[in-house]
Amino acid sequence: MKNDKCKQGNIGTVTAIRGSVVDMCFTRQLPPIRTLLHADTEPLIIMEVFSHLDSNRIRAISLTPTQGLTRGTAVRDTGGPLTTPIGKNNLSRMFDVFGNTIDRKEPLSDSQWRSVHKAPPALSQRATKSEIFETGIKLIDVLMPLERGGKAGLFGGAGVGKTVLLTEMIHNMVGQHAGVSIFCGIGERCREGEELYREMKAAGVLDNMVMVFGQMNEPPGARFRVGHVALTMAEYYRDDEHRDVLLLIDNIFRFIQAGMEVSGLMGQMPARLGYQPTMGTELSQLEERIANTGSGAITSIQAVYVPADDFTDPAAVHTFSHLSASIVLSRKRASEGLYPAIDPLQSSSKMATPNIVGAHHYQLAQKIRQTLAQYAQLKDIIAMLGMEQLSPEDLQVVGRARRLERFLTQPFFTTSQFTGMEGQSVPLADALDGCERILNDEFKDFPESALYMIGAISQAKRPSANAQGDESPAGKSQPNNKSPAHGS
């Protein structure tokens, strides 16, 4: 932390403490909103001015625990907002909300510090050309392509694979795009942060990566600001070093939740379902800074926890409005062993238009969606009456759809130690070729399991005769040999 900016003359005193909310009296000059204040305690207690109550009193939210703070404690005005270190030295390091390194290595030296509060790029500075950001994940690149400089949301409840998908994208970003990845953990468990650090180090991608964490046990003020810290670092690599940045936020719902806690502590009247009345503004101030400019692009992929899997929740609805692609994770598909567990019919992308992805890609994606939608409609008939009652045409649709579902699964690099399968990154051309050949019935004689968890379609092998009857998505690992259409 930089403490040399403290205005030694502007001293206030604490008048009231209510949890993380602290009231103070300044007789000489009121510090502006968002100014950092330091209390004369050990350890140092850091607060941010939230509102002016009258001509002498202010209300601040503490960014650190307030144990040891008492009435009458002197408080110093730092004269500036929260700042964070920027520069090339940040790569491969892990930071907290104050810019302190938390990876047990030596502290940063000779770093430049920059305010975490910044206006979004003006419309005149933004790039108007839409470009595709390839991830190497078949299902995403084919059906819901991401936008370079855009924002994509991973929607899903607990335990459906949001964090696994994020870590796989980090691996592919460093391998393919040679850009910088910034991982921002908002309200993360310390276990998840430690595991991610070890995994990224073992995968060899830490050298082009920065990690910023506001952990679950930290006060809501710190969790509320850690997203701005990560964005400030991302803006440095985009604007100063002219590099593309992949900003991964896990979890944007925790940012909204921290804002809700701050709002409640400040005594603001809650809005719908207890959310803060300023949720839309606070989310926009964060999201609008993520943009594609002439000097580079910040592409953001954000995990969005959906409370109780309810997509009408205000947090999910407000987040939807900022996104160029929505990736919805399905608990049902995860239970069927179809990983990544993305629901192709609920997920969407504004990039999936003929003008951007091309007519061939667009028509193929539409045909894939149509086939999968027809299969979804037929599942009820199959469950009640069995496959025997389907017409020959419907049987063909079911066969194509089930083979497409299995081809669009993919082994990940970040899960290879658990699955025993080597990870695959598939170019878009190979993914499109495989889908097109399946739709043309070139693989109708192959069992479905031959297409499960492979990369390019050329890896599909016709198995031996004794395995011809195995139609389960995970091969012989399912003893009951039921298919997803029959309720496995």
Strand 57-62 relative to strand 45-52, pairing = antiparallel
Number of H helices, E strands in the chain: 13, 18
Q: Residues 28, 189, 332, 482: which is the catalytic one?
A: 189
Instruction: Give kind and range of the element (H or E) at residue 186.
Output: strand 180-188
Query: What's the sign of the alpha-carbon dihedral 250, 255, 261, 262?
Result: positive
Q: How many alpha carbons lie under 13 Å from residue 215 in its C-beta half-sphere? A: 14
C-beta of residue 83 within 8 angstroms of C-beta of residue 254: no
Residue 239's CB is within 10 A of a number of other CB atoms, namely 16
Tokens for 24, please give them: 């103070």
Residue 25: beta bridge partners?
13, 57
The verdict on whether 188 is a catalytic residue reads yes
Strand partners, 133: 146
With b for 16 or more beta-carbon neighbours within 10 A and e for fewer, the 272-288 pattern comes to: eeebbeebeebbebbbe
Contact indicator for 50, 59 with CB cutoff of 8 Å: yes
Neighbours of 198 (CB within 10 A): 11
Burial (CB < 10 A; 0-12, 13-18, 19+), residue 153, is buried
DSSP three-state, residue 388: helix
Helix (H) or strand (E) holding 156: strand 151-156
Residue with the two structure tokens 């997803």: 484
Pinpoint the alpha helices (H) of 288-351.
Answer: 314-320, 331-335
Per annotation, catalytic residue among 147, 168, 188, 448: 188
Alpha-carbon gap, residue 400 to 224, rounded angstroms = 47
CA distance 231 to 184: 9
**Which residues are within 8 A (CB) of 59 and not within 5 positions of it... i.e. 6 or more apart?**
21, 22, 23, 24, 49, 50, 51, 52, 53, 266
Q: Any residues with CB less than 8 A from the CB of 87 and at least 6 apart, and which?
A: 108, 111, 112, 236
Residues 6+ apart with CB under 8 A from 129: none
User: Does 331 participate in catalysis according to the annotation?
Assistant: no
How many Å is the Cα radius of gyration of the chain? 26
Separation of alpha carbons 416 and 411, rounded Å: 7
Question: In Å, how far from its chain's centre is CA 322?
Answer: 13
Pairwise CA distance, residues 187 & 117, whole Å: 20
Nearest Cα neighbor of 412 from 170, 194, 181 is 170
Active-site hit among 76, 138, 162, 254: 162
Query: Hey, which residues does 126 pair with through a beta bridge?
Result: 293
2 in active site: no
Which residues are designated catalytic?
162, 188-189
